[in-house]
Amino acid sequence: MSLKSVRILLAASALALIPAVTAVQAAGEADTYQQLDQLMNVFEKVRTEYVDKVDDKTLIQGAINGMLASLDPHSSYLDERDFTNLRTQTEGSYGGLGLTVTMEDGAVKVIAPTEDTPAYRAGIKAGDYITHIDGVLIYGGTLDEAVDKMRGKPGLPIKLTIVRPGRDKPFDVTMNRELITLRPVKWEAKGRIGYLNINSFSRQTGPDVRKALTELAARPGGVDGWVVDLRSNPGGLLDQAVDVSDAFLTHGEIVSQRGREKTDIERYYARPDDLSQGKPIIVLVDSGSASAAEIVAGALQDQHRALVMGVQSFGKGSVQTLIPLTDDTALRLTTARYFTPSGRSVQEGGITPDVVVPQLSDPDYKDRPHLREADLRRHLINEAKIDDRTLEDDGKPDPRFTATADQLKKEGITDFQLDYALKTLARLSGGAKVAAADKAAGAATARN
């Protein structure tokens, strides 16, 4: 791309975006042209005087990335590789570890591991930093470079060096890459409770949830209640969050999204087809429950359809629109904020559980900080006042939650939050069969 072509492109874009209608607009247009001239001056100096020759495409793409990085953590330019990765995350499978990561001050930071993947089974947790891959320092590189190194042919071993806040020394984790098949929903019956584990919101999430509800409800005797597990769910497609919420509701608003202008509001409503048959519901959330997961939790909570249990969620209350630029590149731009049915935004604050239940089966849950939206630089500010208390440890000891991870392990409880939810549903539903099935865990039930 020639310098002349770049000047023509930028000038044409400015003319298209800034119509000269008023004196104020004309002044703004002149200022914009001055800034564009400054951009072009820098571009020309770098391409002609930088110590190494740099191609124009690299410089222009860097300028685009810098522009979007100044907005918020979720707006970005998707080149050919990024666009392919995005399609993979929503529709396909890949060879890798099952990690959702971000870049923070030159370091790769874990947002959440996907359940039942090598990273999850190896004990990698949200908030961990990855400093080395196979002994090679990756600090200061790009996120794409780190992701490329972590992905690879299934079966190939990999060693990650982890820095975990709260621990004195880094430690190594070795695992094998696997084919990460994006199965967004897993379900099973736990006694007479229907358990839905929703890991992401991809194209198949809504249909899978409906299939799960139908199959479990058709069991002999049906079910007495439902646990919808949204823990460590980083979100995904808005329409799938609406579809999942709709499966549990018969009426009312699910979510609204509001753009720049006051009149730019779009609302989504439930249809009268509650596939959960009105049975009690508990929704599990944690600090890794974000975006679409928070839409579902907020909708069921505000509609008084479910009891939300766990710890405070991530707090991502913004909507990103994918704007195609070419056949294989796109702009992911934050275009709206979303609000729960009661009109509250979860941006920064997240979803506050109705019942705060710590994950006691995680031995270092108290010492390990949890990454949330409010921790990300340039995050959107919530106009409402945010309660920034840490729900994992608010300083008030709860006599129900005094067991240690070792004590729970001896009792056969490896997931305390899920165990607590199942026993709570047994009491809510009054299911005698569930109570009988839980009798063997009497000591744990007494603690609950």
Class of domain 93-181: mainly beta
Find the distance separating the first CA and the last CA of the chain, reported in whole Å: 67
d(CA 301, CA 291): 15
Asked about 245 being catalytic, the answer comes back as no
pLDDT the model gives residue 214: 96
Per residue in 119-130, pLDDT (tens digit) is 999 999 888 999
pLDDT band at 133 (very low <50, low <70, confident <90, very high): very high
- The size of the chain, in residues, is 448
Task: Tell me the three state secondary structure of residue 125.
Answer: coil
Fold agreement between 93-181 and 185-447? no
109, 125, 279, 316: the active-site residue? 316
202, 245, 291, 429: the active-site residue? 291
Do residues 191 and 422 touch, judged by C-beta distance below 8 A?
A: yes
pLDDT band at 39 (very low <50, low <70, confident <90, very high): confident
Residue 33, C-beta contacts closer than 8 angstroms, at least 6 positions apart: 14
Asked about 316 being catalytic, the answer comes back as yes
DSSP character for 43? H
Report residue 388 CA to chain centroid gap: 19
Phi, psi of 307 (to 5 degrees): -95, 120
Per residue in 165-216, pLDDT (tens digit) is 878 899 999 999 998 877 889 999 999 999 999 998 988 999 999 999 999 9
Do residues 230 and 284 touch, judged by C-beta distance below 8 A?
A: yes
Report domain extents, the chain. Answer: 3-70, 93-181, 185-447
128, 224, 302, 438: the active-site residue? 302
| Interior/surface letters 220-252, b for 16+ CB within 10 angstroms, e for the rest | eeebbbbbbbbbbbbbbbbebbbbbbbbbbeee
DSSP character for 382? P
Asked about 149 being catalytic, the answer comes back as no
* Residue 69: other Cβ atoms inside 10 A: 15
* Residue 358: other Cβ atoms inside 10 A: 20
User: Residue 8 pLDDT > 90, yes or no?
Assistant: no
**185-447 maps to which CATH number?**
3.90.226.10
pTM of the model: 0.76
Sign of CA dihedral 432, 433, 438, 439: positive
Helix or strand (DSSP H, E) at 258 = strand 253-258
